[in-house]
Structure 1
């Protein structure tokens, strides 16, 4: 696994699952840019958001792809949407080995055996 892909995996595991706010200093650039409209800008926005996550929240990265300084991750998030799990596509831009910018797209997760055409959403 490439360094950036491994950093993205570690950052999300430590920050979201372990609720380790020191992960922000290790894995995110000082001038981190956030594109999720529900989260305030920068590392301080994440620092404020993480403690508000529900106790049953979890983030599971299933696969990741790298293109230059960008990593795209597909994940399942539990405990966030009232109707159940969510499928997430995260895009991270790296600078000097740290996450410098982040975008995400989230939608309700449909189990593989319940999709309209039989194709899985993430696997």
Structure 2
């Protein structure tokens, strides 16, 4: 009987390992941002943007916390990703927190925002985001230029 118990436990071990949340790609995505109604003021949205930048590429960098600002149905204009936060999570969560990012600057001009940073191996990047109801609703990063004014 002991052999059968030991063998059963051995077979079940991989299933237990798969059930344990892991950093990055193995970790379940956070609950997507839910648009607020009525929407937050421009100043409140700017404060949310600033908080997003801090967890996206700042000193408190956390891909998990970053995705708390992204709506489930957000539109992604990157040809390598599908629309929706789940697609972006699947791409970024396995690598983001372990990649070196150097913040350069950020700008908010409601409802748009830009984040300029350097990413290890990718060089300088400009991400543009459209905000709606306090959430990131749309994203561009292909050939984006930082706004001049």
| Alignment TM-score, normalising by the size of structure 1 | 0.64
CA deviation digits over 1:1-49, x for unaligned, max 9?
93243144045248xx4342x542x201121111111122211111211
CA gap of 1:54–1:74, structure 2 versus 1, over 3 A, is closer
Q: 1:115 matched to which residue of 2?
A: none
| 1:95 counterpart = 2:132 | yes
Q: 1:18 matched to which residue of 2?
A: 62
Q: Structure 1: give runs of 5+ residues left out of the alignment.
A: 107-123
Task: Please report how far the alpha carbon of residue 68 of structure 1 lies from its aligned counterpart in structure 2 after TM superposition.
Answer: 1.8
**2:87 alignment partner, one of 18, 23, 45:** 45
Matched ranges for 1:112-123 at <5 A: none
Are the equivalent residues in 1 in contact too, given 2:63–2:96 (CA < 8 A)? no
Decide which structure has greater strand share: 1
Distance in 2 separating the partners of 1:19 and 1:55: 6
| Alignment TM-score, normalising by the size of structure 2 | 0.54
Distance in 1 separating the partners of 2:136 and 2:100: 20
**Aligned Cα root-mean-square deviation (Å):** 2.8
**1:6 alignment partner, one of 50, 75, 81:** 50
Are the equivalent residues in 1 in contact too, given 2:116–2:125 (CA < 8 A)? yes
Q: 2:26 matched to which residue of 1?
A: none
Are the equivalent residues in 2 in contact too, given 1:12–1:59 (CA < 8 A)? no
Matched ranges for 1:57-68 at <5 A: 57-68=99-110
